[in-house]
């Protein structure tokens, strides 16, 4: 499949945005682990994590990384 230049540039910008965001997500997870937060992969915490994600998704600017990390955790739990 041939992709035109404009589409490839769009894909490249999207990939950079995802990569940059992933770096921020990992840094935040690292901070939380150092603080002692554990059990993110415990299926028994699923409903609590859903609730936390909904709270973070509804708040003001600056919570995007936390909401994304919670979404990643929920996806991981669902795939088990």
pLDDT at 62: 78
pLDDT at 73: 93
Does 11 have pLDDT greater than 80? Answer: yes
Does 33 have pLDDT greater than 90? Answer: yes
Domain count, the chain: 1
Q: Is 67 helix (H, G, I), strand (E, B) or coil?
A: helix
DSSP letters for 17-66: HHHHHHHHHHHHHHHHHHTT---TT-GGGHHHHHHHHHHHHTS-TT-HHH
pLDDT at 59: 67
- 68: which residues sit within 8 A by CB, 6+ positions away? 21, 25
Range of the domain at 67: 5-78
How much is the average pLDDT of 15-21? 96
């Amino acid at each position: 499949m041939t992709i035109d230049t404009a589409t490839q540039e769009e894909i490249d910008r999207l990939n950079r945005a995802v990569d940059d965001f992933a770096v921020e997500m990992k840094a935040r997870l690292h901070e939380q682990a150092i603080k002692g937060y554990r059990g993110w992969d415990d299926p028994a915490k699923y409903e609590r994590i859903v609730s936390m994600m909904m709270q973070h998704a509804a708040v003001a600017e600056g919570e995007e990384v936390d909401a994304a990390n919670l979404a990643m955790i929920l996806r991981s739990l669902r795939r088990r």
